[in-house]
Amino acid sequence: MRLRPDTRAGRLALGVAGWVLRRAIGLLSRTWSTRIVDGAVHLEAVLARPEPVILTFWHNRAVMATPFLKARLHDAGSTVAVLASASRDGELATRTLRPWGVHVVRGSATRGGREALWGTYRALRKLGASPVVIPDGPQGPPYVYKAGVLHLARLSRAPILPLAFACDRYWSIGSWDRLMVPRPFARVFVALAPLQRIPRELDDDDVEAARVRQETLLNEASRTAETAAGIPASLAPPPGADEGPDLAP
């Protein structure tokens, strides 16, 4: 049966699924060892500043990112906001994240993108929340940085903090981005790039140059994390590609 978030039964089922998913991530992540291998000073700078930042990472690293951001930002007193669509998946994300105290902005980056942008902007400016904006979401292509992050940074004048995640062993889910789920007792490695400020006044050529720059920074940080994890620095494997027996058997 397909769960529908616009029905009472669907909302109830999604609420149960959210609880199960939250518990699973919580229990699984307790077995992981997490280490920042580059850019710890940038996280310290974020925690020391009174203003929010825009948090970015690649879509298929979201399972690794969630407990890290909860432990290192949310539990340290920073409010984190996440964009979730009005779809079934968005409702599941909402039911999973809200009990952790995460501020959820409802809206779609593909349909009604303006509403989503303004909702995220309001969370950032009025609530002081640091929003998670996944630059290759919600449907890819994987590892292609979209300009929406830059528009939010220009509008809000908040800096972007690029975060990269890798682990030494994981399951690969058969989604468009080959979502990575670290196995029990995996080692997770994190690399951060410096805070990025986007000028407010940019023409189309400047926006594209800034987009390429942010994509390059996030890929370089990802390679640093992957090198520390001892896995091939191979970003953007096509869906269905053979990643090798040590990565996703």
Element (H, E) at 160: strand 160-167
For the chain, the helix, strand and coil percentages under 3-state DSSP, each to the nearest 5:
45, 15, 40
Find out whether 109 and 98 touch, Cβ atoms under 8 Å.
no
In this structure, are residues 177 and 59 in contact, taking their beta carbons and an 8 Å threshold? yes
DSSP state of 202: -
Q: What count of Cα atoms within 13 Å lies in the side-chain half-sphere of residue 175?
A: 19
Question: Which pLDDT value is given to residue 244?
Answer: 34
Q: Could you tell me which residues are beta bridge partners of residue 25?
A: none
The CA distance from 225 to 172, in Å, is 17
- Give mean pLDDT, residues 223-230: 95
Q: Model's pTM, two decimal places? A: 0.85
Answer whether 100's CB lies under 8 Å from 69's CB: no
In angstroms, rounded to a whole number, what is the distance separating the alpha carbons of residues 88 and 186? 30
Model pLDDT, residue 247? 34
Give tens-digit pLDDT for 1-34: 455 655 666 667 777 877 888 888 889 999 999 9
